[in-house]
Amino acid sequence: MFNVADYFKKFSKIEETTLTLNGFIRKALKEVCGIDTASFEVKKGVIILKTNSIVKSIVFMKKKEVLEHLSKTSPSSKISDIR
Protein backbone atom coordinates (compact mmCIF):
# COMPACT_ATOMS: atom_id res chain seq x y z
CA MET A 1 0.00 0.00 0.00
CA PHE A 2 1.24 3.49 -0.83
CA ASN A 3 1.77 5.67 2.25
CA VAL A 4 1.15 9.33 1.45
CA ALA A 5 2.76 10.58 4.67
CA ASP A 6 6.10 9.01 3.76
CA TYR A 7 5.91 10.52 0.31
CA PHE A 8 5.40 14.06 1.65
CA LYS A 9 8.31 13.71 4.10
CA LYS A 10 10.67 14.04 1.13
CA PHE A 11 9.31 17.48 0.37
CA SER A 12 9.55 18.70 3.95
CA LYS A 13 13.29 17.97 3.94
CA ILE A 14 13.73 20.01 0.76
CA GLU A 15 11.87 22.95 2.27
CA GLU A 16 13.90 22.68 5.47
CA THR A 17 17.22 22.85 3.65
CA THR A 18 16.01 25.84 1.63
CA LEU A 19 15.02 27.69 4.79
CA THR A 20 18.34 27.01 6.49
CA LEU A 21 20.25 28.11 3.39
CA ASN A 22 18.25 31.35 3.27
CA GLY A 23 19.05 31.87 6.95
CA PHE A 24 22.79 31.46 6.31
CA ILE A 25 22.63 33.92 3.41
CA ARG A 26 20.72 36.51 5.47
CA LYS A 27 23.23 36.13 8.30
CA ALA A 28 26.17 36.59 5.93
CA LEU A 29 24.62 39.70 4.38
CA LYS A 30 23.98 41.17 7.81
CA GLU A 31 27.41 40.43 9.26
CA VAL A 32 29.51 41.34 6.22
CA CYS A 33 27.49 44.14 4.60
CA GLY A 34 25.26 45.34 7.44
CA ILE A 35 22.11 44.71 5.41
CA ASP A 36 19.03 43.48 7.26
CA THR A 37 16.43 43.51 4.53
CA ALA A 38 17.38 42.10 1.19
CA SER A 39 15.18 39.98 -1.01
CA PHE A 40 16.88 37.26 -3.02
CA GLU A 41 16.46 33.80 -4.43
CA VAL A 42 18.90 30.98 -4.97
CA LYS A 43 19.03 29.15 -8.29
CA LYS A 44 21.67 26.57 -9.20
CA GLY A 45 24.17 27.82 -6.62
CA VAL A 46 23.77 31.50 -7.54
CA ILE A 47 22.24 34.14 -5.29
CA ILE A 48 20.06 36.46 -7.36
CA LEU A 49 19.41 39.75 -5.57
CA LYS A 50 15.97 41.26 -6.02
CA THR A 51 16.39 44.56 -4.27
CA ASN A 52 17.24 48.17 -5.01
CA SER A 53 20.48 49.21 -6.68
CA ILE A 54 22.09 50.67 -3.55
CA VAL A 55 21.89 47.36 -1.71
CA LYS A 56 23.13 45.51 -4.80
CA SER A 57 26.14 47.84 -5.04
CA ILE A 58 27.04 47.28 -1.39
CA VAL A 59 26.81 43.52 -1.78
CA PHE A 60 28.80 43.50 -5.04
CA MET A 61 31.59 45.53 -3.44
CA LYS A 62 31.88 42.91 -0.68
CA LYS A 63 31.03 39.92 -2.85
CA LYS A 64 34.23 38.03 -2.07
CA GLU A 65 33.80 38.43 1.69
CA VAL A 66 30.15 37.30 1.55
CA LEU A 67 31.06 34.17 -0.43
CA GLU A 68 33.92 33.39 1.99
CA HIS A 69 31.59 33.81 4.97
CA LEU A 70 29.07 31.45 3.38
CA SER A 71 31.71 28.84 2.65
CA LYS A 72 32.89 28.95 6.29
CA THR A 73 29.46 28.84 7.93
CA SER A 74 27.75 26.49 5.49
CA PRO A 75 30.24 24.47 3.44
CA SER A 76 27.50 22.24 2.05
CA SER A 77 25.63 25.17 0.46
CA LYS A 78 27.90 25.37 -2.63
CA ILE A 79 27.05 28.98 -3.44
CA SER A 80 29.36 30.08 -6.24
CA ASP A 81 28.21 33.54 -7.33
CA ILE A 82 26.06 36.56 -6.53
CA ARG A 83 24.13 38.38 -9.26
pLDDT at 32: 94
pLDDT digits (tens, 9 = 90+) for 1-45: 678 877 777 766 665 577 788 899 999 999 999 998 889 999 988
CA–CA dist 50, 76 (Å, integer): 24
* Contact between residue 69 and residue 28 where contact means Cβ atoms under 8 Å apart: yes
Predicted TM-score (pTM) of this structure: 0.78
pLDDT at 12: 64
